Amino acid sequence: MRLRPAAQALSVLVLLAVRLAAQQSSCANTAAYSPCELLFELSEKDAAAHPSPYATVDLRVEFRSPRHRTYAIPGFWDGGRRMVVRFAPTEGGDWDYHVTSNLAAWNDKTATFTAASSEAPGFLRAANKHHWAYTERDARGLDRPHLWMGVSEPRFAVLDDAAFRAVADARAAQKFTHLRGLMMDQASGTALYQSPDVPNLAQFQRLDARVRYLNQKGLVADLVLARGPGDLVQAFPGWEQRRRFIRYLAGRYAALNVTWQLVDQFEDFPDGRALLKEIGGVLKQADPYQHPRTAGARTTSAPLLDDGWMDFAAYGTADDNVGAIEHQLYAVPFVNLNFGREDSGAGKPGPNDLDAAQFRRRLWNATMDGQYVTYANTGTGAQYANSPGARAMTVWFDLLSGTRHWELEPYFDVDNGRAVALEDTEYVVYVEKPGPMELIVEKHSYDVVWINPIDGEATRSKKKFSGDHFTGEPPDRAHDWLLHLVREGHMESMNRSYKFDSRDPPLALQEIESNSPKVPFAIEQPTGDLSVSKPATYSAKITKETRATRSMMWLWTGEVAADGQGYRVLATGQKASQPAPADLARNFPAVMHLRLYGMNANGKVYELDTACGLEK
């Protein structure tokens, strides 16, 4: 019997209601910060009109929380006629959602579901200028700090299943909190896309399972979109193709516990700043949870901070001049992604590959620069996981997790050591060259603990130190040491009741002194034009000798504003000789803004500026 128009309309509405009820049931009772999925199936008619749903079907679901917070999630194609919206509720209670789509069958439909509460800490956010916290507070209403300790496993997406799980299990047992890996590596032989508009669904589904597994093991997945120069543009030549790709990634992974690190080394990408501003802006818009975003770098990704899409800066260098000085310039967290790779038994194929002792020294110097750290080694697979460097990382975690690490900042009143501190509460000092050291502290009584950074063995002094001028030396001179000077009772009280940021007034970035008469140094060289093909000589001269200028750090940067590539590090140290980076400019000859930063032994930063030419 043929239905009348009114009856037909009623039948369609009933069918749609049944479908939406089925879809919403897949999120019903989902615990907060756990992913769930709404499934959408194209009808025969819509499938015929959209033979490539990835490229032509638009689907977005806007979720509204019990507290009226809104999360707009793009849907993604997952094969055949299947579209998926993956979502993680951020609180328990009744949620409603609204569907928008270019398919009339789905557009402007609404439904509801109820999520369950959970004790999950939430996702990550930048906090306290240079540190990390979770998005949810604890039962006492206090912010929850996050200690970022990463491990680089670039091939995690292409290892066989057994090898991947063995690596993930080993890294979780070693207390790493992040695992960093490539999503798209043209050299791996496993393509993420068959063509710009045809994703390799089998590889994406494998990646889904791996990110979920890492999250289950307590690891945040640090996702690097691409490695090699030009990979992104070669894979996605058009702007719309790149935009679609980024929205697709946001749809698949934003509901999981991830960070976005876009590319391995942004300087290697032609016109890299403009490319990353483009895709970083799309990602910022498409990811409703605002997972932390950055770009990997050969030296520093801080030149991209002004573009507004990054939440933190990343390093690919162990140079303390860069890290220590930039820490005083920017109010963002810093993560060192490559301060060196440990030779864990696979050899030293690269110039930045180190033995365990060299690696450990770089690790603790990066920490004293105010950086969070990511471990890397030269081997792939679980057989290389249990190395001295990895054990040193566990020592790092055990020590810092017992501190108020989310308030520790570089501290300069120390001789024969480098320190981070929360003044008045605790001081962590790295003594790279064992011998007598001195530390000025707030006048109190402190527990004194010396820690072996190789194995974490602690030597606690039987007698507390009281005063404001600590002098001492490590238990022996066989290796480097760590000193933890702490008011333990005071800190325990703070952890029970103090707010996340206990500094009063809150920490503020220093004002950089650029008034020439007050700057205690001058630029001697360069005096002429610079070249990207010939070494230039850099030299600074101390003009005002003081106790503070006896030990200086130096950072030389250059920028061609007209070409918009951002600044690059030209050199470090008081004297240096090297060519200017080739990616400083796109058009030659150019006018370059040269800047010299000098930081004295008290942590005071000075700046001098000049202009010079830049040639090929």
The model's pLDDT over 39-77, given as tens digits with 9 standing for 90+, comes to 999 999 999 999 999 999 999 999 999 999 999 999 999
CATH of the domain at 460: 2.60.40
For every residue of 136-180, which 3-state class applies, written as one string? Answer: CCCCCCCCCECCCEEEECCCCCCCCHHHHHHHHHHHHHCCCCEEE
Residue 185: is its pLDDT beyond 90? no
Chain CA centroid to CA 31, Å: 26
Q: What pLDDT does 140 receive?
A: 84
Higher pLDDT, residue 344 or 130: 130
Higher pLDDT, residue 494 or 24: 494
What distance in Å separates the CA atoms of residue 608 and residue 598, rounded to the nearest whole number? 9
Same structural domain, 356 and 450: no
Confidence of residue 511 (pLDDT cuts 50, 70, 90): very high
The model's pLDDT over 567-576, given as tens digits with 9 standing for 90+, comes to 999 999 999 9
Q: How many CB atoms lie within 10 A of CB 191?
A: 15
Same structural domain, 77 and 58: yes
Domain presence at residue 124: no
Same structural domain, 388 and 438: no
The model's pLDDT over 158-168, given as tens digits with 9 standing for 90+, comes to 999 999 999 99
Helices (H), 220-270: 231-235, 239-253
Q: What pLDDT does 430 receive?
A: 98
Same structural domain, 234 and 364: yes
Confidence of residue 267 (pLDDT cuts 50, 70, 90): very high
Residue 14: is its pLDDT beyond 80? no
Locate the DSSP E strands across 399-464: 409-411, 414-415, 418-422, 426-431, 437-451, 458-460
Residue type at 310 in one-letter notation: M
Domain presence at residue 547: yes
Across the range 225-252, mean pLDDT stands at 93
Q: What pLDDT does 187 receive?
A: 63
Confidence of residue 211 (pLDDT cuts 50, 70, 90): very high
Domain presence at residue 508: no
Across the range 473-500, mean pLDDT stands at 92
Same structural domain, 315 and 388: yes
Across the range 192-211, mean pLDDT stands at 95
Same structural domain, 350 and 249: yes
Same structural domain, 209 and 294: yes
Same structural domain, 255 and 172: yes
Of 7-16, 260-269, 383-392, 452-461, minimum mean pLDDT range: 7-16
Q: What angle do CA 151, 213, 314 make, to 5 degrees?
A: 30
Confidence of residue 20 (pLDDT cuts 50, 70, 90): very low
Domain presence at residue 226: yes
Domain presence at residue 236: yes
Sign of CA dihedral 413, 416, 422, 424: negative
Residue 12: is its pLDDT beyond 80? no
Which residue is associated with the tokens 């230039």?
Answer: 536
Chain CA centroid to CA 54, Å: 29
Same structural domain, 271 and 318: yes
Same structural domain, 138 and 267: yes
Enclosing H/E stretch for 273? helix 272-286
574-601 per-residue burial string, b: 16 or more CB within 10 A, e: under 16: bebeeebbebbbeeeebebebbbbbbbb
Domain presence at residue 292: yes
Across the range 11-26, mean pLDDT stands at 45
Number of domains in the chain: 4
Residue range(s) defining the domain that contains residue 449: 409-497
Cβ atoms 554, 570 nearer than 8 A: no
CATH of the domain at 234: 3.20.20.80
**Strands 530-531 vs 59-64: parallel, antiparallel or unpaired:** unpaired
Q: Average model confidence (pLDDT) for the chain?
A: 93
Domain presence at residue 123: no
Residue 322: is its pLDDT beyond 80? yes
At which of 361, 385, 401 does a domain end?
401
What distance in Å separates the CA atoms of residue 240 and residue 242, rounded to the nearest whole number? 5
The model's pLDDT over 341-353, given as tens digits with 9 standing for 90+, comes to 999 888 888 888 9
Higher pLDDT, residue 594 or 187: 594
Domain presence at residue 502: no
At which of 497, 530, 564 does a domain end?
497
What distance in Å separates the CA atoms of residue 329 and residue 598, rounded to the nearest whole number? 12
At which of 356, 385, 401 does a domain end?
401
Same structural domain, 387 and 439: no
Confidence of residue 186 (pLDDT cuts 50, 70, 90): low
Same structural domain, 450 and 533: no
CATH of the domain at 520: 2.60.40.10
